[in-house]
Every structure is written in C-alpha cells, then in structure tokens.
Amino acid sequence: MMSLSSVPSAATMFQAYASISTAITMFKTMIHQLVPQQVQLYIEAKIRSYFRPNSSNVTLVIEERDGMGINDVFTCAEIYLSARISPEFQRFKITKRPKDTCINVKFGNCGKITDSFEEIELVWKFVNETEKSILRFQADDEGNFSEKRSFELSFSKEHKDRILNCYIPFVLHTAKTMRDEKKIIQLHSLSSNCYSSMNWDSVNLEHPSTFETLALEPALKKIIIQDLDRFLRRKEFYSRVGKAWKRGYLLYGPPGTGKSSLIAAIANYLKFDIYDLEFSNIKRNADLRRLLLSTKNKSILVIEDIDCSVTMPERSETRTNYNGRSRDRDQEITLGGLLNFIDGLWSSCGDERIVIFTTNNKEKLDPALLRPGRMDMHIHMSYLTSESFTVLANNYLEISDPLYNNFKEAQELIEGAQVSPAEVAEQFMKSEDPDVCLQSLVKFLKRKRISFNEEMEKQEEPNNNITNGGANTTHDDKQHQLKRIKALGIHNSLHS
C-alpha cells in the first residue's frame, strides 16, 4: 500500500507539468520552423486516417480547376446550389450590384447545404482554402498565396452509381437552364493581390451598344452579323475539317471610330462574356497560357492596341535572368507564345470563342498575326459617312428627318470632313436642344474641312505626282481609291 510520503507534492507536480509543457512548446516550434507546412498537413492527415472510424458515406471532391482549365462541374454546382440555400447553411455572402434585380448569394468558408434526390440525402460542403505555396512546383515568382476552392458532396456509398449517373447530370442540366434564363454578360479583367496569384476578376457588362445603335455602315453591319451567325451554327463543320471552333477579328482604323462599341455590340448580340487581356500585367508565356485556358467557352477574348500593348522580343535575342543565366523563352511573353494559343495546339482547349484584336496602325503589325486562322476577318473602322451619321443623329438627338434644320448641310459636310463618330457625338452632347447641337456641328465640320483643305494644299506642290510602274497616280486618284476602300470597309481574308 502506497504511503502518503511516497505521493509527490503539489509543487513537484507543477514543476513536472511546466517542464513537459515547455518541452512540447519547444518541440512544436522546431516542427513549424524545420518541417514545411505541406509536410505537416500530410502527416496530420495520415495520423487522422488511422483513427478515423469506418464510414458508410462516400465523398466526392469537386475542385474549381481541372489542371490548367476550369472544372465545369464546379461552376454548375455553384449555380445550382445558389438557389438552394437552406436554414441549415450558416455562413454565406450576399452581393448586389447597382443594376442587379435581386440579391446574389455566394458561399462562405466551410458552408454546408443539404439536398435530396429520389429520396437520397446529400450533403454539399463548400471549402475555400487560402494557403502559402511552399513546394517549388506550386510557388509562383512572387511566392503569392494561392486560393483553392472546392465542393465536397457526401452521401451513402450504396447510392454511388445513382449519384454519378443521374444526380450529377441533373445538376449540370439544371445549372445550364438557370444560366440561360438569367444570362448576365460579364466583363473580365486581370486582377492580382498579395493573397492570390493573377487571375480573372469580373463585373457585369453594362455597355448599351447594339448593332441597331452602332454608327456603322448598314452594309458592314450586315456582313458582320452574317459572319457571326454562320460561326455559331458551324460546330460540326469546324470539327469535320479539323479546326478549333473559334473566329478571329481585327478591328483597325483611326481612334474614336467605334472599335470598343463594336466589341460591346458583338457581346450583347451573342450573349458572350468578354475577357480583356492586358499584356502589361503578364510576365511570361506560361502565365498567358494559364489565363487563356481559364476563360470559359462562349466568350470573347479582346486584345486592344496589339501594336503597342507589349514589346514582343525577337526570336534571335538572348535573354538572361538576374544571375546571368540564359532564360527560357517560356519565361517571358513572346509573339510565338500568343500565336500558339490563337491557332496552335493550345487553340483546341475551348470551343465557341472569338478573339478580337484592335489597332490604330495595321501596318505596324507582324505579318504572322494577319494571316487567316489568326485574324480571319479584317474590319476597317472608317470615318463617319452620311449613312452612319443618320444613325448617330437618331441616337443622340432622336432626329432622322433629312429636312430638319441644318441636318442636310451637316450630312453633306460629313462626307469630306474625315471626322470620327466620337467627335460628332461630342458636338451632340453640348446641348439638349437639337437645333443648337446641329448648328455647333456644322460650324465644327466647316472648321474641320478648312483645316483639311489647308493641309492638302501644303502637300500638293507642282509635279508632285506619284509614279507607280510607269503610270502617274494623282492625289485625286488616291482619294478616289481611299473612298472605295472606305465604302467597302471590310477585308474578309477567309470565306467561311
């Protein structure tokens, strides 16, 4: 029998406890400092797996990304579950943009939602993890935090086949129907902060431009619309001939001629999202591929001012990094990297996509960009004509009568003034009175014409004809040729 004298005193017990606690704290500190976080998480998961009781449930993990691309099951699950928020769901986010008609419900960390399908009980769990990339192949150049989002779907294992073969297709179909019924066009732009690597951020596209309100030649509008419609209905044709289902457009012309408005009109007509690709924020080809692969189908990729948006290095140039070693071409953005996605092997990673380039100076573009398959249709955005002026006057002043005061005079002055739609729109916004606006426009056009004539007189000196192959081409002949090109307004280099 243990005597009272053999029982350690309270002071001794406290000293022993303090020593053990200190040792445990030191051990944990050493572990955190010496063992990478990913290894810690792996060991912890393995230890838990040994003590986890056998469960009759199965859990399907649906991650947001599938390799370099988007997991469509995750996107559809997010849409499907947004309409099934139940009282059991304890954490979620709500948003409402100025023009939204209702509140948008999004999920918070570790949120749970219950659902049922043919008397099968299912539990959805949303997991959003933000963690520091530790392993070399996971870290980016800046060592940014990476965000990993996923859904976990749990149910009894006896219903596994039923869930995979019936419930998941039901979720995909329901989400597609919901998306089509409430299609809101999104404008995506690049975003990057200290908590995540570069990816797409989005806002609702609220640009009101349509083909009806676009100040463009009616014949040119018709050609563009017909080309878009033909592109949409030719999925089987593209598959049969072995081409990626995409279409490339080049919009070129002077500033202010409506290139951005045409892009918005195409997006509103097709109900396609827009991805605005800004090259100045991208450092290498690998990042470019990752961003392009994360774009969705039925989308428009816009690369504005392609001639000056980025300095493309020559293939022959030798590049070195900070320690003097040669750099791989994949470590920087190159023209070849862009072309490889447009019509190379990477172009097949996605369907029903439109790529639009814009430039004010077509002659500065690399010829490799201009060929069919990359820029299939070249659309010249020219100065305002009498027909497009009528559309603009109707939009801003609600006037279409050619007998209205100063209307006909302004229409006649437009033809030779080389004025952009943006310049005329500025005159129309100077007053709420249509008469005042038209008077201001007539004065502006007269000044514009005088300035243009003075410029032409300086260029027209005696014997200043241009010789071409033995034939003399006068300035009037050049102007006539330019008018013909402007009237055509389009160069379709691939008749599809």
- Average pLDDT per block of 10 residues along the chain, 496 residues long: 59 75 78 72 69 73 81 87 66 66 63 84 82 42 61 90 93 87 83 62 86 90 95 90 88 91 94 87 78 85 78 46 44 66 68 89 82 85 88 88 83 84 90 90 86 72 44 42 43 40
pLDDT the model gives residue 334: 67
DSSP 478: H
Establish if 268 belongs to a structural domain: yes
**Are the C-beta atoms of residues 92 and 108 closer than 8 Å to each other?**
yes
Residues 438 and 169: their CA atoms lie apart, in Å, by: 59
Residues 72 and 311: their CA atoms lie apart, in Å, by: 35
Residue where a domain stops, chosen among 150, 182, 214: 182
Residues 308 and 21: their CA atoms lie apart, in Å, by: 63
Residues 424 and 429: their CA atoms lie apart, in Å, by: 9
Establish if 466 belongs to a structural domain: no
Is the domain of 114 the same as that of 222? no
Quickly count: other Cβ atoms within 10 Å of residue 439's Cβ: 18
DSSP-derived pairing of the beta strands 57-63 and 377-380: unpaired
Residues 170 and 32: their CA atoms lie apart, in Å, by: 45
What DSSP assignment string belongs to 302-345? Answer: EE-STTTSS-PPPTT---B-TTSPBPPGGGS--HHHHHHHHHSG
Is the domain of 251 the same as that of 171? no
Establish if 28 belongs to a structural domain: no
- Cα 61 → chain centroid: 27
Cα dihedral: 258, 308, 365, 342 (round 10):
-80
pLDDT the model gives residue 194: 46
**Are the C-beta atoms of residues 142 and 116 closer than 8 Å to each other?**
no
Q: Hey, is 466 helix, strand or coil?
A: strand
pLDDT the model gives residue 476: 44
Is the domain of 352 the same as that of 406? no
Is the domain of 66 the same as that of 122? yes
Is the domain of 357 the same as that of 423? no
Q: What is the number of helices (H) and of strands (E) in the chain?
A: 16, 18
Residues 129 and 107: their CA atoms lie apart, in Å, by: 13
pLDDT the model gives residue 7: 59
Residue where a domain stops, chosen among 117, 151, 182: 182
- Cα 424 → chain centroid: 31
> Rounded to two decimals, what is the model's pTM?
0.66
Report how many domains make up the chain: 3
Is the domain of 63 the same as that of 172? yes
Is the domain of 362 the same as that of 265? yes
Is the domain of 177 the same as that of 301? no
CATH number of the domain where residue 243 is located = 3.40.50.300
**Structural domain containing residue 355:** 202-312+330-381
Is the domain of 259 the same as that of 286? yes
What DSSP assignment string belongs to 112-179? Answer: EEEEEETTEEEEEEEEEEEEE--STTT--TT--EEEEEEEEEEEEGGGHHHIIIIIHHHHHHHHHHHH
Is the domain of 156 the same as that of 236? no
